[in-house]
Amino acid sequence: MSGPGVALQVLRPGALTTVQDLGRPGYAHLGVPRSGALDTGAHRLANRLLGNPPEAAALETTLDGVSLRALAPVVIAVTGAPCVVRASGHPVPWGAPVRLRAGVEVDIGRAESGLRSYVAVRGGFAVPPVLGSRSTDLLSGLGPAALSAGVVLPVGTPGPDPVHGVDAPAAPGPPRELVLPLRLGPRADWFTPASIAGLWRSHYRVSAASNRIGLRTEGPELARARTGELPSEGMVLGAVQVPPDGRPVVFLADHPVTGGYPVIGVVPRGPALDAAAQSRPGSGLRFTPAGAGVG
């Protein structure tokens, strides 16, 4: 079903719930970050369960979920951080399509493990696009604002019925330790050889100051081999920048497009960055050379 009145209304926005698709690449030269879903695997799966295209906009919740009211019949799916999902107070499946009648209230509960859940609707959330994307960018302010109570989210036109037999996701447990593969460069020479060697042995924790812009760490400081300032240069998703306190920061989807602190290396895009999106403050973290086995 689609058309005027097909929408979901926000009843409880949660700690931070934003609209996210796969982002707005190609505008870094204008100072616009890519943005988009932090856990792209979970986002794509939620859309696949409903027969949506991968780039359809969904909701990204943070820790304590979101509550919505269907203003017309819709079909939703929840993936990412496992949580209890209830419709009109009754448990309904997580990780599978759920049909909601008009007027039904659905509550996506607190994450049981991980940090971010994804709520997709068949047809996608049809908020107005900005520069080709419906994503909320917390750094630049582009896209729709973070959700607040009372906001009405329009739903787009559904595509063909989803293919039968779509894989159902297993509920992931929180990793005992987040392991991030790191490709050294371009500014690894700004750090002492002892710091580089020690990086592979060091154990960090995810800082409570982490957000969609970057995953901040707590742990050993990295000592510089060079002092002075570095001219601002381009930054990429997964870049590991080291500010003056010496503790690595892993740039995530809303990262700035330029920065003046040295980048010791880059975490390749893929499952490791998806796992970073689900790592709670206090979680253990270590870096390993990209391509090395994880023991």
Let me know whether 149 and 184 are in one domain: no
Let me know whether 149 and 208 are in one domain: no
DSSP annotation string for 209-256: T--SSEEEEESPPPPBSS-S----EE--TTEEE--TT---EEE-TT--
Let me know whether 77 and 211 are in one domain: no
Residue 285 has pLDDT above 90, yes or no: yes
pLDDT value for 1: 45
Let me know whether 16 and 136 are in one domain: yes
**Residue 213 placed within a domain:** yes
What is the per-residue pLDDT across 95-133, written as a single tens digit (0 to 9) for each? 999 999 999 999 999 999 999 999 999 999 999 999 999
**Residue 165 placed within a domain:** no
Let me know whether 91 and 130 are in one domain: yes
**CATH code for the domain of 217:** 2.40.100.10
Last residue of a domain, one of 154, 189, 208: 154
What is the per-residue pLDDT across 45-90, written as a single tens digit (0 to 9) for each? 999 999 999 999 999 999 999 999 999 999 999 999 999 999 999 9
Token duo for residue 230: 């570095």
**Residue 142 placed within a domain:** yes
Nearest CA to 184 out of 196, 176, 167 is that of 196
**Residue 211 placed within a domain:** yes
For residue 22, give the H/E element and its range: none
The amino acid that residue 294 corresponds to is V
pLDDT value for 161: 72
The amino acid that residue 66 corresponds to is V
| Residue located via tokens 């919740």 | 61
**Residue 162 placed within a domain:** no
Q: Measured at the alpha carbon of residue 28, what is the angle toward residues 15 and 45, in degrees to the nearest 5?
A: 50
Residue 174 has pLDDT above 70, yes or no: no
Could you tell me which residues come within 8 angstroms of residue 101 by beta carbon, excluding any fewer than 6 positions away? 70, 73
Let me know whether 251 and 184 are in one domain: yes
Let me know whether 15 and 149 are in one domain: yes
Let me know whether 93 and 47 are in one domain: yes
Let me know whether 83 and 222 are in one domain: no
State the average pLDDT over residues 159-172: 62
**Residue 243 placed within a domain:** yes
Let me know whether 80 and 204 are in one domain: no
**Residue 182 placed within a domain:** yes
- Bridge partners (DSSP) of residue 121 are 76
- Bridge partners (DSSP) of residue 244 are none
What is the per-residue pLDDT across 235-281, written as a single tens digit (0 to 9) for each? 999 999 999 999 999 999 999 999 999 999 999 999 999 999 999 99
Let me know whether 203 and 283 are in one domain: yes
In angstroms, how far apart are the furthest CA atoms of the chain? 63
What is the per-residue pLDDT across 187-219, written as a single tens digit (0 to 9) for each? 999 999 999 999 999 999 999 999 999 999 999
The count of domains in the chain is: 2
**Residue 66 placed within a domain:** yes
Let me know whether 214 and 252 are in one domain: yes
Question: Which structural domain, as residue segments, surrounds residue 149?
Answer: 7-154
